[in-house]
Structure 1
Amino acid sequence: MYELHTPVNTKAVAKYMGYYLLAFSFVLVVPMIVAIIFHNFEAAAYYGASAVIIFIAGAIVYRTLPDYDLETKEALIIVALVFPISAFLSSIPMSLSTGMPLFDAYFESVSAVTTTGLSVAPADVGPVFLFARSWGQWVGGIGIILVVLSVLISPGTTASRIYKANYGDMKIKPTVISTTRTIGKVYVIITLVSIGLLLLSGMSLFDSICHAFCCVSTGGFSTQINSIGAYNGNLIPTAISISCLLGAISFVLYPHLFKKPEKFFRDKELKLFLALIVLGSIVFAFTLSRENFEYAVIKDNLFQIISAITTAGFSTFDLSILSEASKAVLIFMMWIGGCMGSTAGGIKVFRVLLLFKVVHNVLLRLFLPKETITPMKIQEHIIESEEIYNLVTFMLLYTLILVVSSFIFMLHGVETSSSVFEASSALSTVGLSAGVTNAAMPTVLKAVLIIDMLFGRIEIIPLILLFMPGTWIKRKRNNRRIVRT
């Protein structure tokens, strides 16, 4: 599948990373402009200088190397490289402008581009930092790859393979270029809708923009220390919840909303997604009712379930006070995540639906002759055997990473439930914390969360391929002849 019988073409990877650097340099221009607006000229200089250097580096790489047609393996490697490199490039001006240690700034940048929302930042970082972090989540949500595909790369096999490595097989239009542009339009529209909702709910313009960026990207960074708990009433939490739902629904469905609304509302993945929210809210309310603190049905119960399953990661109260049962409900919601083809993380509702289909098929075959063919189908989508293999592989690796990460937290004295909660939050790119993640936590635990966040956003396989020797080095075959006697 991944064509690893030969190593990747490093020059081809470098060529398209040059494209990426050109695009990413303009991403850093936006925080520079915001810094000028807030009269923080020192921060503006750092972001501006970084943008110029990255643009020059990208231009040199782009002009030096010839064009290549990418194989699938090279497309996967590019996707795996984009997120950690984006975080590193963002962390440099962030560290210089705020005085944060570079490693903490890198943690914050990884949390941004992976749309996670876990934070180790100090309280007094200023508006430029808050905007840059939210902007990073918005860009990370839709993916810098989309910008490269939409603007810089011509239609063809290479564009198709880069798209598939990042977005899978989902398509809205006949070509991947037109599909990416449609996805981009949808993303901008739901962002504007979110900004409008937040303004109407009583937020300031700056807070509305920052929160909208983080809602539709299902990121979870807030301009307030206490997240959404800093706002009174139900209007703002309701607007945040709606915005997070907009980001967690598959973007493939939105074009059908006005043309074929029945196709939108009959989608099985969307139905299961909404059903899980209802079920999760009922169970979570039951666990909260058994605890010794007051909670609001909408602001705390429903809001927190939506925040967890959409992997947005906003909160209305300190989650460290929750019981083991309440934490377990949120952990389960975080594991599931949002819809396939959305900005949400987690296992994804489509994979849960596919798991149900596999179990149903196994049980059904117990009553049928062995030679009977029982094809699996989800709406118009016929499930191939390769998809089932990929599902089993993904679930196994997801579980393994979660267990190892949680165990490392336990070795550092963190209780079991909080260890699983924190690792689940990072691996599902949620951003909720049981009070463990902070600037004072050991560096090794920050590193574990960084790795988990990258695994969660890149979806494990490409990142593993990045560190396989066979990806870069051609193995020597043993050509010795076997002499028979």
Structure 2
Amino acid sequence: MYELHSPVNHKAVAKYMGYYLIAFTFVLVVPTIAALILGNVEAAIDYGSTAAVVFIIGTVIYRALPDYELETKEALIIVALVFPISALLSAIPMSLTTGMTFIDAYFESVSAVTTTGLSVAPPDVGPVFLFARSWGQWVGGIGIILVVLSVLIRPGTTASRMYKANYGDMKIKPTVIATTRTLGKVYIIITLVSIILLLMSGMSLFDSICHALCCVSTGGFSTRAESIGAYQGSLIPAAISISCLLGAVSFVLYPYLFKKPEKFFKNLELRAFLAFTTIGVILFAFTLAKENMEYNLIKDSLFQVISAVSTAGFSTVDLSILSDASKAVLIFMMWIGGNIGSTAGGIKVFRVLLLFKVVHNVLLRLFLPRETLTPIKIEEHIVESDEIYNLVTFMLLYTLILVVSSFIFMLYGVNTNNSVFEVSSALSTVGLSAGVTSTAMPVTLKLVLIIDMLFGRIEIIPLILLFMPGTWIKIKRVNKRSGEI
């Protein structure tokens, strides 16, 4: 992590947060329309009035400040601010329409925009709530930043830095604006495919829409308390699995599917993702068989492992009664996660592959002269030293957050396995629960999971920068030798 030598430009951050608030208005308008269609006028008023206030605030900020070119650090701060503020704005009408406490509504909203799927909602919250949080997951999956880039911001350095802060260096078009619009089209298409698959499998229209929004965003919220286990037969779980896999594959690959299919199917990260999934299915089935679980081994193992590794978080079985070995398999799958450039969370398959390459390179160099150059290469990409430093930093922080969060759960009497499972689910934005997450969970543990979910979605470093004093104020440093500032 680098040290900020100068604070961010507060006015520049505020200017683009004004852009964001205007864009988020349209996110709140959709549940307003849905509430009217579903006949809940009171909910429509709550969502509509919130949208109006957000639009006014965003417009005032936007018009009051001049245009600025964003620096990289400012783009990172904006990305870090977007998700907690999105959850805050969504929680207001959610709390008003359901009667939930604000902390519970904020938990649901964070779980939605981070595409996690952990829930503390009471039963019978109503269809408006179910749709609103599914819609929140869908928007959180592709990211508000994409909406801002596609619609409101002109091409240029600012657009490029905001894109890189949120999506990295992957581009499939000459400009980032064209790339974001292509990614948006891909997202909409696979969502429509998911809706059609679910309708054909026998789901109702409302359930199909809600589940499709959560599948392709690898979110995991369901309209049923028992999740996918509430549905009979194999067609619906199969359709859900396919939809989750669509969301967990890098969106950058989809344009090649029809133009250059060999580039799609030969992608190393995709093949590794499928290999990890296959290994996970075999191990999970083995643990179920060893414990004599009365489940359909092939169907339930395949579904549950896909749900874990894609970080979707749907379930067909009661996870609370699984053995520690079965939970351990799912924990490893949640840690791995999906492909970079997808909506999936977790460490990501590319980082896992890079970690293996680094370990292999270290072992290889033990048998070579010190001056021998041994570059690390993944397909055609030569890994730079900065990428390795970033990987080590990310893995260290990820592990530290996992350990500290799990320890807090243990202090509240949760056993080690369930503590690690629940925290891993939040930190990898999965949403599977071993039965710990509920309305009755202590507020402290809810706050821990909220922070973990934000860390998982924002990917740790931008969120840490948000709370560094040097981000916002100029820190005077004294030269110890001369005594000068």
Q: Normalized against structure 1, the TM-score is what?
A: 0.98
Q: Give the distance between the partners of 1:181 and 1:396, measured in 2 at CA.
A: 34
Aligned residue in 2 for 1:209: 209
How much has 1:291 moved relative to structure 2? 1.6
Q: Give the distance between the partners of 2:157 and 2:19, measured in 1 at CA.
A: 16
Q: Give the distance between the partners of 1:100 and 1:264, measured in 2 at CA.
A: 45
Q: Is this contact kept in 2: 1:112–1:137, CA < 8 A?
A: yes
Q: Is this contact kept in 2: 1:244–1:310, CA < 8 A?
A: yes
Aligned residue in 1 for 2:8: 8
4+ residue segments displaced more than 6 Å: none
Aligned residue in 1 for 2:252: 252
Per-residue Cα deviation, 1:54-94 (whole angstroms, up to 9, x for no partner): 00000000000000000000000000000000000000000
- 1:95 and 2:95 equivalent? yes
Aligned residue in 1 for 2:44: 44
1:307-322 → structure 2 map (5 Å cutoff): 307-322=307-322
Q: Give the distance between the partners of 1:293 and 1:481, measured in 2 at CA.
A: 69
Per-residue Cα deviation, 1:165-219 (whole angstroms, up to 9, x for no partner): 0001111111110110010000000000000000000000000000000000000
Q: Is this contact kept in 1: 2:248–2:339, CA < 8 A?
A: yes
Of residues 367-376 and 293-302 in structure 1, the stretch that sits farther from structure 2 once superposed is 293-302
Aligned residue in 1 for 2:406: 406
Aligned residue in 2 for 1:119: 119
- 1:135 and 2:128 equivalent? no
Q: Give the distance between the partners of 1:68 and 1:126, measured in 2 at CA.
A: 44
Aligned residue in 2 for 1:77: 77
- 1:460 and 2:470 equivalent? no
- 2:304 maps to a residue whose letter is Q
Q: Give the distance between the partners of 1:22 and 1:226, measured in 2 at CA.
A: 37
1:52-451 → structure 2 map (5 Å cutoff): 52-451=52-451
How much has 1:298 moved relative to structure 2? 4.0
Secondary structure at 2:406 match in 1:
helix
Secondary structure at 1:155 match in 2:
coil
- 1:331 maps to a residue whose letter is I
Of residues 365-374 and 41-50 in structure 1, the stretch that sits farther from structure 2 once superposed is 365-374
The alpha-carbon distance between structure 1 residues 480 and 293, as it changes in their structure 2 partners (threshold 3 A), is closer
Secondary structure at 2:382 match in 1:
strand
Q: Is this contact kept in 1: 2:15–2:61, CA < 8 A?
A: yes
- 1:472 maps to a residue whose letter is W
Secondary structure at 2:253 match in 1:
coil
Of residues 312-321 and 288-297 in structure 1, the stretch that sits farther from structure 2 once superposed is 288-297
- 1:29 maps to a residue whose letter is V
How much has 1:477 moved relative to structure 2? 2.6
Unmatched 5+ residue regions in structure 2?
none
How much has 1:480 moved relative to structure 2? 7.2
Unmatched 5+ residue regions in structure 1?
none
Q: Give the distance between the partners of 1:162 and 1:377, measured in 2 at CA.
A: 27
Q: Give the distance between the partners of 1:2 and 1:30, measured in 2 at CA.
A: 40
Secondary structure at 1:252 match in 2:
helix
- 1:204 maps to a residue whose letter is S
- 1:465 maps to a residue whose letter is L
Q: Is this contact kept in 1: 2:285–2:298, CA < 8 A?
A: no
Per-residue Cα deviation, 1:259-291 (whole angstroms, up to 9, x for no partner): 110011111100110001110100100000012
How much has 1:376 moved relative to structure 2? 1.3
Secondary structure at 2:6 match in 1:
coil
Q: Give the distance between the partners of 2:118 and 2:322, measured in 1 at CA.
A: 18
Per-residue Cα deviation, 1:121-166 (whole angstroms, up to 9, x for no partner): 0111000000000000000000000000000000011000000000
Secondary structure at 2:317 match in 1:
coil
Q: Normalized against structure 2, the TM-score is what?
A: 0.98
How much has 1:364 moved relative to structure 2? 1.6
Q: How many correspondences in the alignment?
A: 483
The alpha-carbon distance between structure 1 residues 429 and 481, as it changes in their structure 2 partners (threshold 3 A), is closer
- 1:233 maps to a residue whose letter is G
Per-residue Cα deviation, 1:409-445 (whole angstroms, up to 9, x for no partner): 0000001100000000000000000000000000000
- 1:86 maps to a residue whose letter is S
Q: Give the distance between the partners of 2:453 and 2:222, measured in 1 at CA.
A: 18
Across the aligned residues of Structure 1 and Structure 2, the Cα RMSD in angstroms comes to 1.0
The alpha-carbon distance between structure 1 residues 41 and 479, as it changes in their structure 2 partners (threshold 3 A), is same
Secondary structure at 1:326 match in 2:
helix
Secondary structure at 2:373 match in 1:
coil
Secondary structure at 2:344 match in 1:
coil
Secondary structure at 2:377 match in 1:
strand
How much has 1:481 moved relative to structure 2? 6.2
Per-residue Cα deviation, 1:375-422 (whole angstroms, up to 9, x for no partner): 111112110000000000000000000000000000000011000000
Q: Give the distance between the partners of 1:477 and 1:444, measured in 2 at CA.
A: 36
Per-residue Cα deviation, 1:305-325 (whole angstroms, up to 9, x for no partner): 000000000000110000000
Q: Give the distance between the partners of 1:421 and 1:453, measured in 2 at CA.
A: 13
Percent identity at matched positions?
81
Secondary structure at 1:68 match in 2:
coil
Secondary structure at 1:317 match in 2:
coil
Q: Give the distance between the partners of 1:435 and 1:471, measured in 2 at CA.
A: 39
Secondary structure at 2:49 match in 1:
helix
Q: Give the distance between the partners of 1:482 and 1:229, measured in 2 at CA.
A: 69
The alpha-carbon distance between structure 1 residues 481 and 266, as it changes in their structure 2 partners (threshold 3 A), is closer
Q: Is this contact kept in 1: 2:288–2:297, CA < 8 A?
A: no
Q: Give the distance between the partners of 2:441 and 2:480, measured in 1 at CA.
A: 54
Of residues 404-413 and 363-372 in structure 1, the stretch that sits farther from structure 2 once superposed is 363-372
Q: Give the distance between the partners of 1:482 and 1:395, measured in 2 at CA.
A: 38
Q: Give the distance between the partners of 1:234 and 1:245, measured in 2 at CA.
A: 17
Secondary structure at 2:437 match in 1:
coil
Q: Is this contact kept in 2: 1:202–1:236, CA < 8 A?
A: yes
How much has 1:301 moved relative to structure 2? 0.8
- 2:231 maps to a residue whose letter is Y
Aligned residue in 1 for 2:475: 475
